[in-house]
Chain A
Amino acid sequence: MAIHPPEQRLWWKEHVERTEIIWIAVAFVWGLIMFSTMIAWHVYGRQNLANEAYRVRPEAYVAKVETLAATYKVGEDGASGVPIVRPPPGGDAYLLARIWQWWPILELEKGQSYRLHLSSADWQHGFSLQPVNINIQVHPGYEMILTMTPSEAGEFGIVCNEFCGIGHHTMTGRIRVVEKGEK
Chain B
Amino acid sequence: MAAITDAAGAAGVGARFRTCPVTGLKVERQAELLIRANAVAAVVFLLVGGLFGLLVALTRWPAVHLLPAEWFYIVLTGHGTNVLLFWIIFFEIAVLYFASAILLNCRLATPRLAWLAFALMVIGGMMVDVAVLQGDSTVMFTSYPPMQAMPHFYLGLILFAVGALVGCFIFFGTLVIAREEGTYEGSIPLVTFGALTAAIIAVFTIVSGAIILIPTFLWSLGIISYIDPLMYKLVWWGLGHSSQQVNVSAHVSMWYLIAAIVLGAKPLSEKVSRTAFFLYILFLQLASAHHLLVEPGISSEWKIFNTSYAMYLAVLGSLIHGMTVPGAIEAAQRKRGFTKGAFEWLRKAPWGNPAFAGMFLSLVMFGFLGGITGVVVGTEQLNLIMHNTLYVPGHFHGTVVAGTTLAFMAGTYLLVPLMFRREIMFKRLAQWQPYLFGLGVAGISLFMMGAGTLGVPRRHWDITFSDAVIPYEFSPAAILMMTLNGLSAIMAAIGGFAFILIVVCSILFGKRVDGAEMRKRLDVSPLAGAVGQYGSAGTIKLPGTIILVAVFFVAFVLYYYVNWKYLAQLWPLR
Contacts and interface: CB of A to CB of B under 8 A. Distances in A.
B568 A45 contact: yes
A41 B304 CA distance: 11
Contact of B384 (A23, A35, A49, A118): A49
A7 B534 contact: yes
B536 A14 contact: yes
A134 B573 contact: yes
A169 B460 contact: yes
B21 interface: no
A3 B257 contact: yes
B311 A35 contact: yes
A144 B186 contact: no
B259 interface: yes
A43 to B, nearest CB: 11
Interface stretch (A62-70, A87-95, A171-179): A171-179
Nearest to A119: B296
Contacts of B462: 169-170
Contacts of B271: 11-14, 16
B534 A170 contact: no
B465 A172 contact: yes
Contacts of B388: 126, 128, 135, 137, 161-162
A48 interface: yes
A146 B573 contact: yes
A2 B572 contact: no
A6 interface: yes
Contacts of B264: 1
A1 B146 contact: no
B266 A8 contact: no
Given A2-B191, A5-B189, A172 B468 contact: yes
Interface stretch (B41-49, B82-90, B374-382, B501-509): B374-382
Interface in B294-326: 294-300, 304, 308, 311-313, 315-316, 319-320, 323-324
B180 interface: no
B316 A164 contact: no
A34 B312 contact: yes
Interface residues of A, number: 89
Given A38-B304, A128-B455, A171 B468 contact: yes
Contact of A24 (B266, B272, B545, B557): B272
A49 B189 contact: no
Contacts of A143: 296
A1 B528 contact: yes
Contacts of B246: none
A34 B229 contact: no
Contact of A2 (B266, B294, B296, B472): B266
A151 B146 contact: no
Contacts of A14: 269-271, 536
Nearest to B475: A131
A48 B535 contact: no
A179 B384 CA distance: 25
B534 A6 contact: yes
Given A14-B270, A79-B469, A47 B230 contact: no
Given A23-B549, A34-B375, A132-B571, A157 B472 contact: yes
* A1, A135, A163 pick with most chain B CB within 10 angstroms: A1
B33 interface: no
19 contacts: A1-B528, A3-B25, A3-B189, A3-B190, A7-B536, A16-B269, A30-B556, A31-B313, A45-B381, A45-B568, A47-B567, A48-B573, A51-B297, A124-B144, A124-B146, A137-B294, A140-B146, A142-B230, A168-B461
8 closest pairs, A vs B, by CB? A7-B535, A31-B312, A157-B472, A161-B457, A144-B296, A53-B296, A53-B297, A2-B256
Given A30-B319, A41-B380, A80-B469, 13 more contacts: A1-B533, A2-B191, A2-B259, A4-B531, A16-B272, A53-B296, A105-B470, A118-B296, A139-B295, A159-B472, A171-B468, A172-B465, A172-B468
